[in-house]
Structure 1
Amino acid sequence: MSGLPSGVDGIIRAIFAYEFEGHAVADEVVIGAIRSGEFGEYLDAVESSGMFTPSVVDSIGSAWSRDPELLVSALLDGVDSMNRVAVAG
């Protein structure tokens, strides 16, 4: 996940590891909303995890604002490749 502070990628993927895991198809509405800049709920989850300082949470939010695909990629990490292709567009 370029654009995020060093070491943050793996932690974010772990926080959201089960978001879409086991679903036949990842929620395209959720992915579309994130791509439109609606990711506050996910940033709140990162903040409430207690794993990051407020300045790192701000950096994560800025990175996701610039490139929402950073978050989409983290969320789709637990989705099988067939279903990942279905929502990757």
Structure 2
Amino acid sequence: MSGLPSGVDGIIRAIFAYEFEDRDVVDEVVIGAIRSGEFGEYLDTVGSSGMFTPSVVDTIGTAWSRDPELLVDALLDGVRVGG
């Protein structure tokens, strides 16, 4: 169980599909920052997408706080991590 409401992970992956689309390798500093709890920019993007109610955005933020790998996995869908 991811801690996210049903179907939310797929929508989040779609919202951020562009994030690393032009790169084969992701900057580990970005991933490290997310793992340290710095994901406010991403949560703001999710909130401003119009795809979720404020309560669902809060639920997403809570889930990411507990397990930042949920966001990391969504961002890195199909991308290698490297320097």
TM-score by length of 1: 0.86
Aligned positions, number? 83
Q: Aligned-residue CA RMSD in angstroms?
A: 1.5
> What amino acid does structure 1 have at the position aligned with 2:39?
F
Q: Any idea what SS the aligned residue of 1:26 has?
A: strand
Give the Cα–Cα distance (whole angstroms) in 2 for the partners of residues 61 and 24 of structure 1: 27
Shift of 1:78: 4.1
TM-score normalised by the chain length of structure 2: 0.92
**Runs of 4+ residues deviating >6 angstroms:** none
Summarize deviations over 1:18-76 as a string: whole Å, max 9, x none: 11123131121110000000000000000000000000000000000000000000000
- Please name the residue that 2:66 is paired with: 66
Q: Quick check: which one's strand share is greater?
A: 2
Q: What one-letter code is carried by the residue in structure 1 that aligns with 2:48?
A: S
Residue 56 (structure 2) aligns with: 56
Consecutive unaligned residues in structure 2, runs of 5 or more: none
Q: Which has the higher helix share?
A: 1
